[in-house]
Amino acid sequence: MMEQIAVKILIGLILIMISVPPLLLLVWYFKDKNQSQHSILRNFPLLGRIRYLLEMLGPEFRQYLFDADDEGRPFSRTDFSNIVIQGKYLKTVIGFGSKRDFDKPGLFIKNAMFPKQKEEMKVNIMPKISTRRYVGTEGLFSRTEHLENVEVSPWTLSEEDAIVVGPNCKKPWKVKGPVGMSAMSYGALGENAISSLSHGLGMATGSWVHTGEGGLAPYHTVGGGDVIMQIGSGIFGVRNIDGSFSWEKFKEKSENPQVACFEIKLAQGAKIRGGHVEGSKVNEEIASIRGVEPWKTVDSPNRHNQFNDLETLFEFIHKLKETGGKPVGIKIVMGGSDSADELAKYMSESGGGPDFITVDGGEGGSGATYQEMADSMGMPIKSGIIYCDDALRKFGVRHKVKLFASGKLFSPDKIAIALASGADLVNIARGMMISVGCIGAQKCHTNKCPVGVATTDPGHQKALVVDEKKWRVLNYIITLRNGLHSLAAATGVDSYTKFDRSHIVYKDQFGKVTSLDKLFPYPEA
């Protein structure tokens, strides 16, 4: 197979060279021979051009031809295909067995000797939700797939198990599903992508849309569902012309019935610093929503200027809750096992603090960040969520806050492990992007996304059809909840809110198995 591919590439290159007029080829040769920028072209003009051609094609060759199903990063071919299949076909069924390497160390979900029956589960299976899924076959030249209407259960939480964020606020937020959209700004994503996500999540019920730090855009609310509005260090959407915080604009946003709560972003897994948006993405509409100048690159400060320590942060949170009447949380990245100790201690001593904490893993993604930060700064979510949960328990304030987890939690088993490790709710970003067509081109920061997801360019956005992709988002969320429901039943609990560390085990390289609650014992308050 590999030899055939190599032969085809060589034949193609020969045909290209034959078809180029000899005179043009000669001009090209001497131009490369006399340039001073590229050493290899100076000595070997023709061979050098062939080398650069193969180098440019390398990423695509690796992604589609040479990488194994589980080798690609940050997402493998298997990761992509699983999300796409869920969104298109509402399926998670596979044949012939798992491709996981069971000899490697890893986390596993503990099954019960006597699993729960369907009728014992505390989950809403009615009223049914109308959606559309693909049926038929899809070949290279013959595509007979078409959408069919189908009714599905929502798999949302019962009234008894619904999660209440900010119960002491004037307007608490009741959540009936464990999974929603993670922070993705309008500007980082285009209006077609945001609208597809908003429609799909709204139809799913029990979920939410997250604005990211770019401010509340009309596309976040078109689906009619709940919205988390984030306030980043650039305070986009709630700032005055001079860049200062606008309480008037904040109050205006808080009066929007779809805005369920506010999140203050202190850090993000992919970048422990302020945000960055290329000027080519900042059109007039985005600039108006954010309160910045159009077509100019936007860099947020590394931290908020409204506070500089826990005392002033808590004062700011208190004023936001008093002014808006809605829950207020913070987004953090854990840097070590003691990262949340000071925060939890101050919550205990002061009696104040956030209504929820979003813990973002270091493996989280972003439309634009720096290589050195993406690779090495911030703890992965599996460690981060446990240590944050421990800190809150140690200082006796765990019952006061809800924990969101985010960082490549795109499948039911990964979500179940996060919930068992301490999370109450889970945010998903790149899984959502894949559900609306992302192919992992890694051009998010260039405004040239080939499938119209991470771009505001009208020409590129036309690839993304909202009326088709919204169904994929809906189906993706439904299959995630259904999968969690199945895992909970197999584990022996009647609701996926009841996962805890005792339900997860870690198998080491020697085959020894240890329960997660033994590896990370719950601390005493």
The pLDDT score that the predictor gives to residue 24 is 73
Cβ neighbours of residue 55 closer than 8 Å, sequence gap 6 or more: none
Cβ neighbours around 383 below 10 Å, total: 17
Domain at 166-499, CATH from 3.60.20.30, 3.30.750.24, 3.30.365.10, 3.20.20.70: 3.20.20.70
- Burial label, 465 (beta-carbon count in 10 A; 0-12, 13-18, 19+): middle
**For 25, left (φ over 0), alpha (ψ -120 to 50), or beta?**
alpha
Domain boundaries, the chain: 2-66, 166-499
Q: Tell me the C-alpha distance between 473 and 87, whole Å.
A: 6
pLDDT tens, per residue, the chain with 525 residues: 455 656 666 666 676 666 666 667 777 777 878 888 888 888 888 888 888 888 877 777 777 777 777 777 788 888 888 999 999 999 988 888 888 889 999 999 999 999 999 999 999 999 999 999 999 887 777 778 899 999 999 999 999 999 999 999 999 999 999 999 999 999 889 999 999 999 999 999 999 999 999 999 999 999 999 999 999 999 999 998 788 999 999 999 999 999 999 999 998 876 666 667 778 778 889 889 998 888 888 778 888 999 999 999 999 999 999 999 999 999 999 999 999 999 999 999 999 999 999 999 988 776 566 777 777 778 899 999 999 999 999 999 999 999 999 999 999 999 999 999 999 999 999 999 999 999 888 888 888 899 999 998 899 999 999 999 999 999 999 999 999 999 999 999 999 999 999 999 999 999 999 999 999 999 987
With beta carbons less than 8 A apart as the criterion, state whether 234 and 214 touch.
Answer: no
Q: State both tokens at 225.
A: 């569902």
The pLDDT score that the predictor gives to residue 49 is 82
- The structure tokens 């869920």 sit at 86
- The structure tokens 């990262």 sit at 339
Verdict on whether the full-model pTM lies above 0.85: yes
The pLDDT score that the predictor gives to residue 144 is 84
With beta carbons less than 8 A apart as the criterion, state whether 89 and 133 touch.
Answer: yes
Q: Tell me the C-alpha distance between 482 and 103, whole Å.
A: 28
